[in-house]
Chains A and B, each alone.
Chain A
Amino acid sequence: MMSPALFISLVVGWMVLAAMALLATDGPKSLRGLLAVLLLGLCAVGCQSAHPMAQALMLACPALALCVRVFMPEATAHDEGRMAGPEPFILSAGATLAMACGRCDLLVMFIGLGLGLHLVLGRQGDWTALRVGLGGLVMAQGGLFVLQAGWGARQEQAGAVLLAGGLLLACGVLSGKRQPLGGQMALLATMPVLAQAAIMSPALRAALTFLGCVCLLWSLLPRSRAHADGMDWSGWVVLAAGLPPATASVPLAACLLALACGGGVRCMAGPCSLLWPPFLPGVALALMLLAEMGAMPGVALLAGACLWPVFTTTAHGATEPAPVARARAAVALVLGCMVLALALHGGMVLA
């Protein structure tokens, strides 16, 4: 995907940056911000060979997530967990490298490295993270071997299911609790690589679509909706990675950007709002729904129906009574469905 000189410069820059981040642990915030911006610039240099804008955006997403993370206000960062330490830096750099190489086995290696760092530097004895992370990685590696062995169509389907399910398990999707940033960075790195691998094997695409639907339905559960404020973007990202390769890149980039920016309602209200493009969630959702409408209308209808609780809870947070909010959400949903049906009927769906 990229030339060797660029790749080597990216590797050297990553090593220097990781060493500096290690030295600057508990350092002032400005220094850490400078390091994060440096990594973003490095990625921008590395992404020059990716011609379409959407691909470059996809490649730069982990560095962008690092910037959002570092510049987050102190109170929010304290809520989310630990702030200091080189761990986010190394996770983000590993994600960038895995995407630059575009190989699933390197991806497995980098996620494993991040898991080891989490176990060493973070909370000691986090057995749940070990169970979910290492189990998922083992499953993913096994599925990758089955995919590469070329044993036949049915075995390839089994390998695709193992690979996609294992990687999602290792990323902490469907784990029921709100993900730490490490999980989000792993998801940011995983999805573009999986979307590239889905070009090779169509079985992976079906598995990704199915798992994305499962993620969307999972986010509807009242237990997981109680302590997640705002939208859960992981299901949308997985669904976007399962699109046909011609239409996948733009919606996937938009959803990844929304995932990197945090996606919470709380984030929009605070001083973080400068980092939050106001139109981004709507644009990402519309792109995603249009592309899915062209590929699989049934899945698109299911995904649109999954937006209903988000509408109602967002309006309910304001000073409106509940029936009015529900009626307004219903009208918005019907209008959206009408627009989508018109677009599908008129052939305006993305080619």
Chain B
Amino acid sequence: MLVLLLGMMVIVSLSGSGGRGGGLAWHAGLAAACVWLWQWGQGSVGLSCLLAVAQAGLVGLLGLQMLYGQAGPRERSGLRLAGGLVCVAVLAQVIVPGMPGGMTARLMGLAGLSAILCGVWGACIARAAAALCAGLACGLDGVMLLAGLANNPQVMTETLVAVAALNLMLLRAARSGGAAP
């Protein structure tokens, strides 16, 4: 039940996460908690939880960079719009029955998928480098959720490396004066 509520909060927080950079860290923390609770419910707390917490830390770092960085409100609002759209679509999907695997796994999978779609969509309509990185990090968070659901440490490590690379790129862009894509 707790995982259910957390998954719901991930979905809902997507729609509100565009306002400031801190929303990204909030979203990452929720995703990590979701993975941790899922593993705890399965009875095996191990490597995946560690990876999820590390991912949350890195995405939070990205959010901090964005908070002190160069993105204007126009660039931040794209993520919010896409979040609202996908949220409606996902809720419509949840209502439609007929998927085995339990309500929790289903909601977690849908939360991951919606994070992926929302992040990629936000990255596609982004104009500035910071918004692009934020959208991609949101999508990587969704991949991390799905990998935690499937218990796949290899993909979790890949997303970790990708988020670290995004951090480095954003840092370099901020130092060189914010090159627009």
Footprint of B on A, CB under 8 Å?
A: 105, 108-109, 112, 116, 119, 125, 127-128, 130-131, 134-135, 138-139, 141-142, 145-146, 148-149, 151-152, 154-155
Contact = CB atoms under 8 A, between A and B. Distances in A.
Interface in B123-181: 123-124, 126, 129, 132, 135-136, 139-140, 142-143, 146-147, 149-150, 154-155, 158, 162, 165, 169, 172-173, 176, 179-181
Interface stretch (B9-17, B56-64, B67-75, B97-105): B97-105
B120 A125 contact: no
A145 B149 contact: yes
Interface residues of B, number: 39
B109 interface: yes
Interface centre among A109, A130, A138, A152 (most CB of B within 10 A): A138
B150 A109 contact: no
B143 A151 contact: no
Contacts of B113: 142, 146
B165 A149 contact: no
B123 A105 contact: no
B112 interface: yes
Given A138-B139, A139-B116, A142-B113, A119 B169 contact: yes
B129 A134 contact: no
B165 A116 contact: yes
A142 B115 CA distance: 10
Given A125-B173, A138-B119, A138-B142, A131 B100 contact: no
B116 A148 contact: no
Given A139-B117, A141-B143, A146-B146, 19 more contacts: A109-B158, A125-B176, A127-B129, A128-B181, A130-B132, A134-B123, A134-B162, A135-B136, A135-B139, A138-B116, A138-B119, A138-B142, A139-B116, A142-B116, A142-B117, A142-B142, A145-B112, A152-B99, A155-B99
Contacts of A141: 143, 146, 155
Contact of A151 (B100, B165, B169, B176): B100
B169 A130 contact: yes
Given A149-B109, A152-B100, A134 B136 contact: yes
Contacts of A131: 123-124, 126, 132, 136, 181
B82 to A, nearest CB: 12
Contacts of B99: 151-152, 155
A135 B165 contact: no
A139 B115 CA distance: 10
Interface centre among B100, B117, B120 (most CB of A within 10 A): B120
A119 B100 CA distance: 41
Contacts of B162: 112, 134
A151 B101 contact: yes
Contacts of B180: 127
Given A112-B162, A135-B124, A148-B150, A142 B101 contact: no
Contact of B98 (A109, A112, A128, A152): A152
B95 to A, nearest CB: 14
A163 to B, nearest CB: 12
Contacts of A105: 154-155
